[in-house]
A and B are shown apart, each in its own frame.
Chain A
Amino acid sequence: MNRNKPLGLKAAPYLFLAPAMALFVGIMALPIVYALYLSFRGVKVSGLGLGSGGRTEVWAGFSNYARSLSDPDFVDSVIRVFTYGLLVVPTMLGMALLFALLLDSGRSRARNFSRLAIFLPYAVPAVISSLLWGFLYLPAVSPFYYLFDKMGLDAPSLLANDLVIFAIANIAVWGGTGFNMIVIYTSLRAIPSELYEAARIDGATERQVAWRIKIPIVIPSLIMTFVFSLIATLQVFAEPTTLRPLSNSISTTWSPLMKVYRDAFVRDDIYSAAATSIVIAAATFLLSFGFLRLVGNRAFNQES
């Protein structure tokens, strides 16, 4: 018997967790703390701001936050992203749930093919899917313009000002439906079939089984997909950034993160960028945490 074991046993969990905790602190916690620090700092320019001592970093209190929150560009981007979220999340999850239920129904055909095809966009990076859809939106390329043209109609331009939000929302729906469908489908498959065999024998239709039995059981999965979709929506960046060269109706501050990027790298105002990052991180965290609280933490507490 090895007498050192109790000591090894005591240290073991900390050693197993050490790499993860070190990375968590260095890569996630520290940057947030540093951004928090920067968000309360600012540059004071004395004289012409030239030479050493011309620009000094000083405490700025909440002025960066005040500037960030009252900036009309920021307010507009937040409103835009919420509108975008209202378009994307219900459409995407609705489609994902519908497809998952149809895949789970014994009455659908071509199920394997459809499952693979619908999941396929998950393997396409947002930048690439924006690029593909971006071209498909161009009147010279789009098959829809071709059809409209053949019918002698004028099609609205999807890349024009009012419609560009739908163009971007479509890309997100296209990219996200398959993943969420698989999540919901996986939890549907976990339902023991006896549960609805009985209902079927009692004469329930496929639709009634879906509404009364299947959907209530997959609610925890729906909650999680909702939270993750919400997080993804608030941080939309790649799609509008990629589409910009193809459309002149996407501003550099289209989404809140694009504005952070512009402040930090185009305007070199890292203090304001830090404050806005903190606001977005806090808002995302509060929204998703609040939502999980609201639904009683059902999804996260189901671990074995």
Chain B
Amino acid sequence: MNVVEYISGILKGVKSLLIGMKVTGSYFFRPWKIVTQQYPENRKKDVKWFYFLPLWKAHGKDTPAERKQIVMLERFKGELIMPHNEKNEHKCTGCGICEMNCPNGTIEIISIQLTTEDGKKKRAIDKHIYRMGMCTFCGLCVKTCPSDALAFTNTFEHAVFNRTKLNKVLNKEGSTLMKGVE
């Protein structure tokens, strides 16, 4: 190592350290760049935000009200649901593919035999039981469902006081199979 390399090495090192310090230092003086969201407060839009510094208010473009409201993404797998249309019809035929595909045994389908008008026997669901406490939200049930009867919503606040409250029946009371779905 000659002297030129030694000194240029020092200067290069100092320069790269200063670049790093510039990044953190600039964040320190720009508190409106903070990305942390305050969870219970950001559920509602009208809640009084705890302003840490007046700088936050002063910065026009990225106003606190906009960053405050929590935005859950469309595709977030929060809870399994069975979509029903306005006539209280769902698409589940009770085939049991979701039950077979579930790695945790989260889903249980209780089916009944119905007799159609022309005298044929047909399987339909009595209860589509979803035990959320056992669900890992892998999405295999939604993916494998042949009639797209299942979906995920992005709700995420599922805390309850009793584990049994996590067992849900997905098909609504008195719902029937949608016409045209076999």
Are A and B part of the same complex?
Answer: no
Task: State the B residues within 8 Å of A (CB).
Answer: none
